[in-house]
Amino acid sequence: MPELPEVETIRNGLRRFILNQKISKVEILDKKILNDFPKKFNLLDDCFLEIDRVGKLLIFNFKKSSLKLLIHLRMTGQLVFCQKNKKIKKLILGGHSDRSTKINCQNLKHLRFKIIFKNGDELNLNDTRRFAKVSLVSPDVLLLEKKKFGIEPLSSEFSYLNFLEIIKNKKSKNIKSFLLDQSLIAGIGNIYADEILFSSKINPIRNVGSLSKLEVADLHKNINKIIKLAVDKKGTTFSDYVDIEGKSGSFLGFLQVYGRDALPCKKCKNTIKKIKLAGRGTHYCSFCQK
């Protein structure tokens, strides 16, 4: 469930806690989540120098090793930072709003991967459904991976002109699947796709080619606006997320259509519809979105 804003929130949280901490051990508890991982590796006494993000993918850079640790949380992955002897013992840095997966350091049922630091702190990867992917790869492989991603919606690359360039070759594509396509624009998932389309007053069943110039311009603006706002609010899907000040992700209160099936539209009171599109539950207001 974590989309760009949630992954960015996780990245910011992690940077504050694990950078420059000496690593003492890497534990693999479930091999299924390993994607591309060497049998032998040495990260003892190494540490994380910086954490990057592309789309929904986290990229961990080491100080000594040239290898890159890649973590994709997919749908139910959660990163939990556990401090050994501090006031804040647990810090849930990712995951979803499902109450059943309230995670803590002692809940080992869904623990898949773990990094232990020399001072006793731990970074745990929990994942109920085991879809998460963890890789440890060379810089070359990372470059190949990065090429699969489209433009970053919060980068300066995401200009109106570049957006036109992306959209002009996809005229026959459905607008919702266009937004969800990671190779075109990186990081938008189901929640923000619905919110962006509501904000742009565009019906999700429309074809890209049917959009007017004005609608395309509006859509471009709203992709940036919604994603930026969601990052500011530290994401949506963090029922249990707490940052160091004890604040949780608050975009939930800003949602206009997602999860509001059969509820009145916040703008016009018309009933929000829910349909299946691009294989995903899609929420929209048939009055506001034409």
- By the criterion CB under 7 A, which residues form the site for DNA? 1, 3, 32, 55-56, 72, 74-76, 98-101, 109-110, 128-131, 148, 169-170, 172-174, 177, 180, 182, 189-191, 207, 259, 274, 276-281
* Nearest CB to DNA, comparing residues 8 and 121: 8
Q: In whole angstroms, how far apart are CA 153 and each of 1, 226, 252?
A: 18, 10, 20
* Nearest CB to DNA, comparing residues 47 and 205: 205
Question: How far, in Å, CA of 1 to CA of 9, rounded?
Answer: 13
> Active site residue: 5, 6, 11, 56, which one?
56
What single-letter DSSP state applies at residue 239? Answer: T
Cα of 65 vs its chain's centroid, Å: 26
Question: Least distance from C-beta 268 to DNA, angstroms?
Answer: 23
* Nearest CB to DNA, comparing residues 1 and 136: 1
Question: Least distance from C-beta 152 to DNA, angstroms?
Answer: 13
Question: How far, in Å, CA of 6 to CA of 50, rounded?
Answer: 18
Question: Least distance from C-beta 24 to DNA, angstroms?
Answer: 28
Question: How far, in Å, CA of 127 to CA of 72, rounded?
Answer: 11
* Nearest CB to DNA, comparing residues 164 and 244: 164
> Catalytic residue at 2?
yes
Question: Least distance from C-beta 197 to DNA, angstroms?
Answer: 14
> Catalytic residue at 130?
no
Render 151-199 in DSSP notation, one character per residue.
B-TTSTT--HHHHHHHHHTTTTSBHHHHHH-TTTBSS--HHHHHHHHHH
Which residue type occupies 104?
Answer: N
> Active site residue: 22, 74, 266, 280, which one?
280
Q: Give the residue numbers annotated as catalytic, written as ranges.
A: 2-3, 56, 280
